[in-house]
Each structure stands twice: as C-alpha cells, then as structure tokens.
Structure 1
Amino acid sequence: MGSLQKLLKRNKVKAAYKACRDPEYFSRHANVHKPTYLWIGCVDSRVAAERIMDVEPGEILTFRNIANQCQPGESSIESVIELALEKFGIDQILVCGHYDCGGITQAVCGHGDSPLNSWVDPIRDLHSQFAKELDSLEKENKINTMSRINVAAQVAHLASHPVVKQCWEQGRKLEVHGVMFDTGTGDLLDLEISQSAPSTLEDSALLEKLATQAIAEPARA
C-alpha cells in the first residue's frame, strides 16, 4: 500500500472513530469557523498548533512558513493579517518559534544562493545584529537563543504593522504574543514580550528591546 493510501486509510479510521464517539462532531464543526487566535508558526512537522494547544477545529487560524517569519510587505503574511483582523476580528495573535529549528540553523550556519537561503536572509541580519550576545554560545544554545530573538523580531514587526496599529487606535482589544515550543518536552513557553498597545518606541528600538528580553531562557511552570 502506497503512502497516500496509508494516509487515506488512517483518515477513514479516525473519522469513523470520531463519529462513533460523537455523531454530530463533523457537522457541528463544519458550520463554525470563528477563530479567536491567529497562530503564526514554523512549517516544522513537529510543531502543529492544534495538537500543541489541544483545541477543536475552528478555534485557530493557522499560518506557517519557514522559521515563522512576518516580514513587512511579504504578500502571504499581509493577506493573513487582513483576513484575521478585518474578516474574523481575531484579538489574539501568537508567534510561535521552536527549539531545534532547521530554518534558524540554515540562517546561522548555511550558505549559498537558493530560495531557502534568500528566505532566511532577514534572520541572518538579526544574527549579525545580536552577534555579541550569540558568539560566545555553543551551537545548540546559539540556535535556540536565535530562535527566541527571531520570535521577538516578528512580534515587533506585527506591533508595527499598520493594520495592527489601526486596531489599537480604534480601541479594539488585540494582543500579540511571542511563545516558544520545546520539541523535547512538549512545553509551550511564554517569552513575556506581549504587546497590547502602540509602542512609543521607533520600530527598530522596539525590536531591539523585545529581542534583548527574549535572549534569556523563559521560565517553566
């Protein structure tokens, strides 16, 4: 049996199991799509938002790319921000990085001319910006610390986004959070860099402030 057939069989078994336990499960969720969270995460197959947060279908609008980036002007992130805030009225945005991130490793250690290397170039710039804090660290710690800095940078980008700022100026509740997923323990960790109002800092100063806060290993419950 080929790989697709295996997946289709597993889907059939799971769907039947869900329907047996709750006959209205699929019909109930099919008519409800009112997410309250926007999850911006990495494409890494170990970092699945619904499983990490243990939520039902329809609760999270999920957006993923390599190394969970929110680069200003990039069409896909611009589109999802518009969808999340203007169509669904979402009031919670989570930027989730993770430990042992291949995209971060590529940015820190990789070289060459390729679409992947071009994609992670902004992370290379971050790495250069915080070289003083990173250079003394051994590789694993350096990659994981860089992952936290990257999350902080994306939170700063979102906090500076015109649509996000407009929501705040209109008095709407909107919070932007930075979190890390530990692939080794399953823990979702708060970096404590949440933003819920326009910053008085310039964009670059806000990024530096949040990234500096994120360098320290987050507390674990």
Structure 2
Amino acid sequence: MHISSLLSILVAISYVLADPSNHHQQRGIRSEQFPKLIARETTSDLELLSRGNKAFRDNIAASDPGLLQKLADEGQSPPFLFLGCSDSRVSEGTVFNAKPGELFAARNIANQFLGADVNVQSVLAYGVAAVGVKHVIVMGHYGCGGVAAAIASPPKGQIDAANGVVQNWIEPIREIFRTSNRSEIVELRNKNAGRADIEEPKINEPGFRALVEDNVKASVRRIATSPVIANHYGLFKSRTRDSTNKPAHDVFIHGWVYNIVNGEIYDLGVSVGPPGKTIPASPFPPVPKHA
C-alpha cells in the first residue's frame, strides 16, 4: 500500500470516529461511512477468496460431480470430529486434503477442550449423538502461538480487553507449564525462573514442543472424561439407543501433533476408546525422538 493511500485511510477513519453524528452508534461504524478508497484497497484480498471458491467448485465438479447435491439431499455423516487450532496454517480440510462431508470440526486458540467452553462442548455432543462421528481427533501443532504465549511473560501494565480475553483463554496451558514433570518442560521452566521478560520460544525449543504435545494430551483426557463421552460409553455398554434413536456406536479419541514445517502428522499414543474395545492402529508414526 502506498504511503499516500495509507494516510488517506487514516484520515478517513479519524474523521468517522470524530464525527459527532456517529455518537449514538456505539456498537460499530457503518461500512458506507468509509470512503470508496478503502474498498479499492481491499478488493484484491477478497478476490483471493472468490478465485479460491471457483477453483473449489471446479475441482469438485471434475472429481466428484454429485457430491455437493448428495450432501445437500442426504445430510452429513462424517466419521471424524476434528478439534484443532484456529491457526490458518492448520486447516483440517487442507491438511487432510478432505472433501466436504468428511470432517465435523471445531477450532480455537491452541486446540483446547475446556469444560467452561459451551461451544466446543456442544460440537462434541452434537458430533457424537447426532452426527455419529466415530473418531474424535485433537490435533495441536508445533509453533502454536497460543502455547508460546503461555510460556512467555504476561503483558505488563494494564491489559486491554482483547489481550485480557487471550490471557484468560491460555491460562490452562500456563497451568500445564507450571506443573508438568516432563523433563523438557522442567528444563525450560528452570531456565526462565525469576525472569519477568520471557519472550515466546523458538519453534524448535524442546520445552515448547513438549508443551504443545502435553496440551493435546490434556484435551484428550478432558474429552475422554467429559459427560458427553461418559454418557455415550454408558449407552454403548447397555446397547441402548440415544435421544436421536440411533444405536450407540464406537467412539475413539486420538491425540496428534502437526509439524507446520513439513506437513507431517505424528501420533502421541494417547488414544482412548470404549471399555473393552481395541484401539484402531494409527496410520501416523509416533513423534520422532529427535523432535
């Protein structure tokens, strides 16, 4: 963006914010109040999405021409529920080269499953009880910004609303970092002890990578012990039907980690299944020792 264009935008924004006539609009600024210059500057960004959508439609039409209509007519029955990070580099559809209808999904900062998060709880409940997913996959990724922020020192001084929300959200990861007995995490914790200026770690820092993995394991444990899964296992054990009148089915929970550098996925060896059921063999290798 040219300097002159940037200055024009800043002037326009300051004018809108300062306009007394907008005082009653405390919840936001109407799009029509921005000059057409802003629309011109952002058109190329939106065109990227338009071109992507066309490519998607063209690819589906060529590879599986009836798929979208079939899903619209018959509804969804994906075998997988994916809980991943909101990071743009780890989109489940891209990472697994998945087609529509294959992955039921929820994503949030640092792929956390928390009891207080109504959204992720409802996704799990609907996925298991109504959609009929067979595998719940928690997948973290190395270089995760949410995990890195949980290692770094909290912001100094007054925290704005946005930062406050993020800091509250990553507190469970800070707790894992504070209490873990894993050697890589203990070593990093000792190295940072007494410091108030801890920066986010580099992607290959062993303690950082270990915390990414342990955060995934924590979410797997929370899902496995959640009321939703406990209820489903109870249904499975008694072979009764759930509220949707569907027979109880096997649900397995897996913990994986994704390497954003090379696109590889590793299995953390923490899969959980119904009592007495054999865990399916993982198609992904365990985390390499050098990693």
Task: Give the TM-score range, shorter chain.
Answer: 0.7 to 0.9
1:23, distance to aligned residue in structure 2 (A): 3.8
Q: Deviations over 1:190-218 (max 9, x none)?
A: 101011136xxxxxxxxxxxxxxxxxx72
Taking the TM superposition and a 5 Å limit, the aligned residue runs for 1:1-221 are 1-20=43-62, 22-31=64-73, 32-112=75-155, 113=159, 114-130=164-180, 133=183, 134-137=185-188, 139=201, 140-171=205-236, 172-197=249-274, 218-219=287-288
Letter in 1 for 2:221: A
| Contact map agreement 1:179 1:189 (CA 8 A) in 2 | yes
Distance in 2 of aligned mates of 1:90 and 1:18? 23
Q: Name the CA shift for 1:189/1:3 in 2 (closer, same or farther; >3 Å).
A: same
RMSD: 2.3
Letter in 2 for 1:37: F
Indicate the structure (1 or 2) with the bigger Cα radius of gyration: 2
What residue number does 2:30 align with?
A: none
Aligned length: 203
Distance in 1 of aligned mates of 2:55 and 2:97? 20
Structure 1 SS opposite 2:88: coil
**Unmatched tracts of structure 1, length 5 or more:** 199-216
TM-score of the two chains, using structure 2 as the length reference: 0.64
1:18, distance to aligned residue in structure 2 (A): 3.5
Letter in 2 for 1:162: P
1:77, distance to aligned residue in structure 2 (A): 1.2
1:219, distance to aligned residue in structure 2 (A): 4.0
| Contact map agreement 2:252 2:272 (CA 8 A) in 1 | yes
Q: Name the CA shift for 1:174/1:24 in 2 (closer, same or farther; >3 Å).
A: closer
Distance in 1 of aligned mates of 2:251 and 2:68? 30
| Contact map agreement 1:52 1:188 (CA 8 A) in 2 | no
Distance in 2 of aligned mates of 1:55 and 1:15? 14
Of structures 1 and 2, the one with the larger relative CO (CA 8 A, separation 6+) is 1
| Contact map agreement 2:68 2:100 (CA 8 A) in 1 | no
Q: Deviations over 1:139-196 (max 9, x none)?
A: 4221111000000000010111011011112224111110001111111111010111
Distance in 1 of aligned mates of 2:52 and 2:252? 37
**Unmatched tracts of structure 2, length 5 or more:** 1-42, 192-200, 237-248, 276-285
